Amino acid sequence: MRLALFLFCCASASSAWAQALGDPTRPSASPAGGEAQTASAAPVSRLQSVLMSRGRKVALIDGVEVALGGKVGEATLVRMSDSEVVLEKDGEKEVLKLIPQAERTPVRRAQARSGGARPR
């Protein structure tokens, strides 16, 4: 009897814990940075992915595929790179980055050793 009660409690606890887990691949509902928006603030667009090939350039913004030259609300997607896109609305430009905190820095090459010997 005790064993059955113990097993029942374990099964109930594990199923309740599993239901609390969310889908880790689902985009978050909050804007980048996690700040809450106020009613008077303009909505913040979020760049989720950039897909570029020879014949196709598409950005995933707020869960919607937008082609180069396409519209995001009232803004137009005017430029794309592998890490950011530029939206233009009423002459003003907004840059959306995939990873806003990341900054690119050039890599310096090591100086060649004198003496002509190459390292192995």
Determine the Cα–Cα distance for residues 110 and 120; give it in Å rounded to an integer. 15
What is the per-residue pLDDT for 45?
82
At 5 the three-state DSSP class reads helix
Residue 75 has pLDDT above 50, yes or no: yes
Domain range list for the chain:
47-97
Residue 36 has pLDDT above 50, yes or no: no
What is the β-pairing status of strands 47-52 and 57-61?
A: antiparallel
What is the per-residue pLDDT for 55?
87
Residue 56 has pLDDT above 80, yes or no: yes
What is the per-residue pLDDT for 110?
77
Q: Tell me which range, 12-26, 28-42, 43-57, is most confidently predicted by mean pLDDT.
A: 43-57
What is the per-residue pLDDT for 8?
72
At 86 the three-state DSSP class reads strand
